[in-house]
Amino acid sequence: MITKLTLHTLLAALVVAGAAFAWQARGEGPSTTAASLAEVLGHEIDLDDED
Amino acid sequence: MTGNKTTPGVPRRPSRSETGFLLLFHAVLSGSFLVAYLTGDEDTYGMHLFAGYTVLAALGSRLAVALLAPAGSPLALPRPSMSPTFAWLRRLAAGDGQALRARSPLYPWMAVVMLAFAALVAASGWIADRLPSVEELHEAAAELTPAVIIVHISVAAVLHWLRRLATARAAAAAVG
């Protein structure tokens, strides 16, 4: 039962995280969404860098 | 007259759909709480808000269902009681194996503590968004999250394993 509850929690966390990420990135362009994802993953992308 | 005989104060066993609802509630609450905890930084503030609102929605739905549930339903809010808890602890101290095989009166206490804690963290976050002076309370409560969750999981695991052990011993004794 504890394993089942833990798996349910992790699955729900994935779904909520995906929905939350989509919500945060809503209305923003694909490049900004990619930058947001990179930030969440601990990287930085400078969108103003044209070089 | 119904077929469901219940002991006063003890909810009957949940039906399949009630179990499904409770499992879904537990998954959504714990999953969104986890996401909210992990996204507290400025970079992920939008995700933090979304997950926090999901926690509030889950708690609101649970409360609404509990208010509509009839007395004795497993969907009613958990109502911990001191005297059955002390009686159960005395039976454990006396080495009564049947006390371990029965449903522990510690579960309603755990449920109430977790619901109250989740409500405090989520509601203080919601209020702090409008009233910055509440932010310290929200952050202090959020910092307690890992400890509260570790205690919750540990108590649930210990009760679960003790119950399995007692049941296995009783089965072995019946065979032997």
- Distance, CA of B176 to CA of B174 (rounded, Å): 6
Residue B6 has pLDDT above 50, yes or no: no
Q: Does B96 map to a domain?
A: yes
Tell me the chain B residues in contact with residue A25 when contact means C-beta distances shorter than 8 Å: 46
Tell me the chain B residues in contact with residue A13 when contact means C-beta distances shorter than 8 Å: 30-32, 34-35
Question: Do residues B147 and B106 share a domain?
Answer: yes
Residue B176 has pLDDT above 80, yes or no: no
Q: Does B166 map to a domain?
A: yes
Contacts of range B127-136, beta carbons closer than 8 Å, 24 or more positions apart:
B129/B49
pLDDT of residue B1: 39
Chain A, chain B: beta-carbon pairs less than 8 Å apart: 71
Q: What is the mean pLDDT of chain B?
A: 87
Q: Do B35 and A17 touch (CB under 8 A)?
A: yes
List the single residue in A12, A23, A40 with the smallest CB-CB distance to B28: A12
Residue B37 has pLDDT above 60, yes or no: yes
pLDDT of residue A37: 66
Q: Do B50 and A40 touch (CB under 8 A)?
A: no
Question: Do residues B141 and B99 share a domain?
Answer: yes
- Per the structure, the complete domain to which residue B71 belongs is given by 15-77
By C-alpha distance, which of B53, B128, B130, B143 is closest to A24? B53
Please list the helix, strand and coil fractions of chain A in percent, rounded to the nearest 5, in that order.
65, 0, 35
By C-alpha distance, which of B76, B60, B146, B53 is closest to A19? B53
Question: Do residues B58 and B88 share a domain?
Answer: no
How large is the ipTM?
0.71
pLDDT band at B62 (very low <50, low <70, confident <90, very high): very high
Q: How many Cβ atoms from other residues are within 10 Å of residue B145's Cβ?
A: 17
Question: Do residues B72 and B87 share a domain?
Answer: no
Tell me, rounded to whole angstroms, the distance of Cα A9 from its chain centroid: 17
Instruction: Lowest mean pLDDT of A28-32, B49-53, B79-83, name the range.
Output: A28-32
Question: Do residues B104 and B62 share a domain?
Answer: no
pLDDT of residue B4: 45
Instruction: Lowest mean pLDDT of A4-8, A31-35, B25-29, B77-81, name the range.
Output: A31-35
Number of domains in chain B: 2
Question: Do residues B94 and B127 share a domain?
Answer: yes
Domain final position from B36, B58, B77:
B77
By C-alpha distance, which of B59, B107, B76 is closest to B6? B76
Please list the helix, strand and coil fractions of chain B in percent, rounded to the nearest 5, in that order.
75, 0, 25
Q: Do B34 and A19 touch (CB under 8 A)?
A: no
Residue B133 has pLDDT above 50, yes or no: yes
Q: Do A21 and B47 touch (CB under 8 A)?
A: yes
pLDDT tens digits, residue range B8-18?
Answer: 556 678 889 99
Domain final position from B59, B77, B95:
B77
Q: Which of B23, B42, B49, B50 to mutate to test the interface with A (most CBs of A within 10 A)?
A: B50
- Distance, CA of B68 to CA of B79 (rounded, Å): 16
Q: Which position has the token pair 């702090």?
A: B128
Tell me the chain A residues in contact with residue B45 when contact means C-beta distances shorter than 8 Å: 24
pLDDT tens digits, residue range A12-39?
Answer: 999 999 998 888 887 555 556 566 667 7
Q: Does B113 map to a domain?
A: yes
Q: How many Cβ atoms from other residues are within 10 Å of residue A16's Cβ?
A: 25
By C-alpha distance, which of A3, A17, A10 is closest to B30? A10
pLDDT of residue A46: 61
Question: Do residues B49 and B123 share a domain?
Answer: no
- Distance, CA of A41 to CA of A33 (rounded, Å): 12
Contact B31, A10 (CB under 8 A): yes
Instruction: Lowest mean pLDDT of B23-32, B66-75, B98-107, name the range.
Output: B98-107
pLDDT of residue B3: 42
The backbone torsions φ and ψ at residue B170, rounded to the nearest 5 degrees and listed phi first, read -65, -40
List the single residue in B23, B26, B47 with the smallest CB-CB distance to A20: B47
- The chain A residues in contact with chain B (CB within 8 A) are 1-2, 4-5, 8-17, 19-21, 23-25, 36, 39-40
Tell me the chain B residues in contact with residue A10 when contact means C-beta distances shorter than 8 Å: 31
